[in-house]
Amino acid sequence: MITSRLFTAPRRAVIGLMLAGSLFLAACGGVAGDSWAGIARDPEGDAVYVAYNERVVALNPSSGAVQWEYKHDGAKFFAVPAIDNGSLYIGDYSGRLHSINLQDGSRNWLYEPDTENIIGPISLTAGDRVISGVAFNDDKVFFGLGSQNVVAVSRATAEELWTFETGHGVWASPLYVHAREGDAGSRDTLYAVSLDHHLYALDPETGDELWKRDLGGAAPGNMVYDEQLNRIYIGTFMSELVAVDLDQRAIIDRYETEGWLWGSPAIEVQEDGTETLYFGDLDGYLYAVEVTENGFSQRWKMKIAEDAIRATPLVTNGLVIVGSKDKNVYAVSKEDGSSEWSDQTGGEALTELVLVPGSEGEQDGSIVVLGTSESDERIVAYNVETGEVDWRYAD
């Protein structure tokens, strides 16, 4: 008798609402934001800059105290801030680029993309996002858009100078490479990788395509430039680290990994000129790979985390330090990958890691700053040598 009353029209209405609500929660539950915090440090200044959700803050690297805070109506920040010549540049989730004064957090200028509204707020242009960081030359700032474009704007006026269309989103920061001295055939070039699997070489003055190469898989993470060998290294979702020789404009080697690659490798150059790349994959493996004339040669490979290592490792003081989605930070020996110290973080540690040298030099009293997905521990600073927490910042 009771059951007969359970499924009357009002009950069905409630059940329907619950289903829809559950669907909504199932899709969105458990995720605090759309991305992780962006962290950067001014090598010439005394602050760590953090971009997360609605604000950009400057933190004192010794204490984590807030020096200034920047907000803008409706802006959400998840990109990595870029710092140059007294200004901080960061894109937001509305496709805009902000230039902020490093001294006080005031805004220098704001670039807003053109939108063609046809009736009221109805626009032919879908909203766009800036997920990538930025690159510079003397007079331009370059960045990628979540949809498909690479954009160049004037550094002085924020005027849009050109856009270049790729086949998919550009999430990685563009890379500006100056012409090599003594090489007459060399020229300033802007490189951009897209989720459409391609590496593009562009003329930074006009945005014209110079050449492109198919990497075989999407490349959401940043490229790294090897100045010594004039190469670019890019990780892809085909579980490969790809070496592109810029002289030959060709892929010269691919190093196969266990999982997808997102973060760019950290390059360490020995005194004898030997180069080693350190990078992690999304399956929790960490790699040390030596760079040779012909490509790559593995030194060691170690499964150190239970979940993804997304960001570029930090190599300092004989250690390779990485954060992981498994809510841990790991420091291992750069010689063989053996564990030196580790610590549990409050949330997933997916942000870039920033080194703040100690007052007496990099080898003494240095701290590594990283971010987590937990608001109570948005930013954590660890002593490099001991692995002890130096300070925390909650937002």
- Point out which residues bind another protein (CB under 8 A): 1, 3-10, 12-13, 15-17, 19-20, 22-24, 26-27, 31, 33-36, 78, 122-129, 131, 146-148, 167-169, 171, 195-197, 216-218, 220, 237-239, 259-260, 262, 282-283, 308, 310, 325, 350
Q: Are 86 and 101 in contact (CB under 8 A)?
A: yes
What's at 70, amino acid-wise? Y
- Minimal distance in Å, beta carbon 282 to another protein? 4
- Minimal distance in Å, beta carbon 132 to another protein? 11
- Minimal distance in Å, beta carbon 3 to another protein? 6
- Minimal distance in Å, beta carbon 163 to another protein? 15
* CB closer to another protein, 170 vs 356: 170
* CB closer to another protein, 217 vs 313: 217
Q: What is the DSSP letter of 48?
A: E
Cα–Cα distance for residue pair 280/28, rounded to 1 Å: 27
User: Residue 261, exposed/middle/buried by CB under 10 A (0-12, 13-18, 19+)?
Assistant: buried
What's at 171, amino acid-wise? W
Pairing state of beta strands 314-316 and 319-323?
antiparallel
Placement of tokens 């004037």 in the chain: 154
Residue whose C-alpha is closest to residue 146's, from 160, 127, 163: 127
Q: What is the DSSP letter of 125?
A: S
Cα–Cα distance for residue pair 68/103, rounded to 1 Å: 9
* CB closer to another protein, 276 vs 324: 324
- Minimal distance in Å, beta carbon 361 to another protein? 35
- Minimal distance in Å, beta carbon 103 to another protein? 30
Q: Are 314 and 331 in contact (CB under 8 A)?
A: no
* DSSP secondary structure of 188-253: -EEEEE-TTSEEEEE-TTT--EEEEEE-SS---SPPEEETTTTEEEEEETTTEEEEEETTTTEEEE
Distance of CA 388 to the CA centre of its chain: 25
- Minimal distance in Å, beta carbon 250 to another protein? 20
* CB closer to another protein, 3 vs 85: 3
- Minimal distance in Å, beta carbon 35 to another protein? 4
* CB closer to another protein, 126 vs 184: 126
* CB closer to another protein, 39 vs 291: 39
Query: Reading across the β-sheet that carries 134-136, which strands appear in turn?
Result: 134-136, 140-144, 149-154, 160-165
* CB closer to another protein, 21 vs 86: 21
Q: Are 286 and 278 in contact (CB under 8 A)?
A: yes
Residue 349: Cβ within 10 Å count: 32
* CB closer to another protein, 216 vs 357: 216
- Minimal distance in Å, beta carbon 34 to another protein? 4
* CB closer to another protein, 218 vs 369: 218
Cα–Cα distance for residue pair 150/203, rounded to 1 Å: 12
